A and B are shown apart, each in its own frame.
Chain A
């Protein structure tokens, strides 16, 4: 996994609350192999009008924010379905950080697994940042993961992130490699548990 330390550049103010993963990528696009790239499906139905034509006033369609690596949203970003494809769509579109007051639990976990930072900012800070971006669309925003700060204009605020996730993102650590280093503990647990909870395995004869 690619590590993430600092990101600086334009930030796309999505400004919506409750952007569920069905909005991030509608289910009908998830049949494709990841290798084909999921970036084009990001926010597909919100970005486009009825004939599939992009709405020019939708933030992600505005030239200034089209390539933004940072996205700013209101509460409960990524709620709903566990589809990791929602993170693939963001990552393949080039988004590396999402700033929001709260995230869907499963989405945030999926994000970290793919090197995307779900940074939790106070609601008031999000509102200030959205207002600043409304006034100055190309305002550069800087994110420093080691320092846990977001800076724009003359403001710098801290964001929250689970400390384990922070380490993982900073170092680009892969869960499976870490877990495999505990293979002995897992095998011992498995054996002891089989004796302790014999009912926990499916009955052999269905």
Chain B
């Protein structure tokens, strides 16, 4: 199991930062405070705001106050949550059609740029923001979606908000925030082949719990994090919310700067050089103090899968379904029995013997081009034993994957290749897992009913989902990587 050390910090020490060495988070916070109240909360300026079809509640609040959007130039609309992944020419569900129409009308009325249903830039907001160069180091970014934490991978302070806060940002471009405490999770060492960002973050959540980072801004550091691609970094920051964190963060470095260069909305030429010079000051200062510190050895992490109905219910693929009888706490034992009953599993069953009914590769967690390549490298020349859906993270990722021939690998394996959207991650756009069926999924939440009423979800990396597709059961992908890149 993972070697972990923890240091508990003082719970109330999150507020002092101006004096002395500062963390990345302190610097982000300090640069955005408009006013501070004696009570300790601050009004902070928001640099980027993304809205989607679900933001209609917030636009209704704005309309109810005869409000206007304060900064249309900092606000971007994206159709992702409800968009169908097939048959986009005619949307059969009138409620979904209305939501997409509402987003068009609301963004048009307030002169907000929209990446709509048929825009070549359309995709999942947390994939599109970075690929359009809207996500940059040093920014504050919000969206009415909890996985906004994704953008922290660039060294931005990015977090999800509810509809009332969306309305607040639309009307004022600011938000009241209490400064979170700071946690640093350092992952040193080199992971085994076949082990990556999804395994890192699932093992962290399993260790600290689904509320283990509640009230914290979590910075991921260490050589294993530095070695990750931007896609891997986004996967880690994306799932920070599944540990309850306010946000996830990774200090910007050369990997970040290289990634940003040339993106449509990013600074260019001399402006980019000046921006990079400023961004180089963002990483935490030597000696900066955090409130809680965790260290993990990457070489000890195995591919991880979830077995229950919370992302904290995660174990290495070599393990077995846990036994509630082994728990001392009655309430927790009862909760585990409920979870196992919902999941249709029995204690002691080997995780690698759990048969799946279908697979899903998609979502803001794991549908970037790197994720699709990882899955395709396992599937190439092989057949899936179960049906499955592949929904790329954006329309741009879809085009790139098709240029690389990845779509043909998925289709040849027997999987369905569809348009981009939140798709089967959230079960509200037409793609869902039928009741009682078991799905190996690259998504972020194995909550009851998340992928559809009665759906049973096992979270894992794209390579692990591909392995499950080929064997028809949860499988250690490392046994299938021989001779493959």
Contacts and interface: CB of A to CB of B under 8 A. Distances in A.
A110 B332 CA distance: 27
Nearest to B247: A105
Contacts of A28: 427-428
A109 B167 CA distance: 14
B275 interface: yes
A164 B41 contact: yes
Interface string A166-202: 0100000001101110100110011001000111111
B37 interface: yes
A175 B65 CA distance: 13
Contact of A106 (B146, B171, B428): B146
B172 A206 contact: no
A74 interface: yes
B246 interface: yes
Contacts of B272: 199
A198 B353 CA distance: 55
Interface stretch (B13-21, B133-141, B191-199, B288-296): B133-141
Interface string B168-186: 1001111010100000000
Contacts, number: 188
Interface in B33-78: 34-35, 37, 39-41, 43, 45, 47-48, 54, 56-57, 60, 65, 73-74
Contact of B453 (A15, A45, A190, A199): A45
A27 B427 contact: yes
Interface stretch (B157-165, B248-256, B343-351, B408-416): B157-165
Contacts of B132: 206
A15 B332 CA distance: 11
B136 A45 contact: no
A28 B82 CA distance: 10
Contacts of B98: 31
Interface stretch (B210-218, B227-235, B466-474): B210-218
Interface residues of A, number: 62
Nearest to A127: B331
A27 B211 contact: no
B214 A102 contact: yes
A81 interface: yes
Contact of B244 (A79, A83, A185, A186): A79
A74 B331 contact: yes
B257 to A, nearest CB: 12
B335 A18 contact: yes
B50 to A, nearest CB: 12
A45 B435 CA distance: 12
A82 B164 contact: no
Nearest to B266: A203
Interface in B383-441: 426-428, 435
B164 A164 contact: no
B165 A81 contact: no
A59 interface: no
Contacts of A22: 445, 447-450
A102 B96 CA distance: 34
B35 A200 contact: no
Interface in A89-135: 102, 104-107, 109-110, 113-114, 127
Contacts of A46: 448
Contacts of A201: 47, 73-74
A102 B212 CA distance: 10
Interface in A52-98: 74-76, 79-85, 87
A13 B386 CA distance: 41
B162 A87 contact: yes
A34 B211 contact: no
Interface string A18-41: 101011001110111110000000
A179 B172 contact: yes
A46 B338 CA distance: 12
Contacts of B318: none
B138 A164 contact: no
A197 B274 contact: no
Nearest to B448: A23
Contacts of B427: 26-28
B447 A75 contact: no
B278 A199 contact: yes
Contacts of A32: 95
Contacts of B265: 202-203, 206
B144 interface: yes
Contact of B82 (A26, A31, A202): A31
A162 interface: yes
B310 A84 contact: no
A81 B146 contact: yes
B280 interface: no
A179 B146 contact: no
B331 A17 contact: yes
A16 interface: yes
Given A16-B335, A182-B34, A30 B54 contact: yes
Nearest to B95: A31
A200 B138 contact: yes
A176 B167 contact: yes
A172 B181 CA distance: 28
A30 B161 contact: no
Interface string B84-117: 0000000000011011000000000000000000
B428 A30 contact: yes
Contact of A186 (B34, B54, B136): B34
10 contacts: A17-B332, A22-B445, A30-B54, A102-B244, A109-B161, A110-B165, A164-B41, A176-B172, A186-B173, A202-B265
Interface of B: 31, 34-35, 37, 39-41, 43, 45, 47-48, 54, 56-57, 60, 65, 73-74, 82, 95-96, 98-99, 132-134, 136, 138-139, 144-146, 159-165, 167-168, 171-174, 176, 178, 210-211, 214-215, 241-242, 244-246, 264-268, 271-272, 274-275, 278, 309-310, 331-332, 335, 426-428, 435, 445, 447-450, 453-454
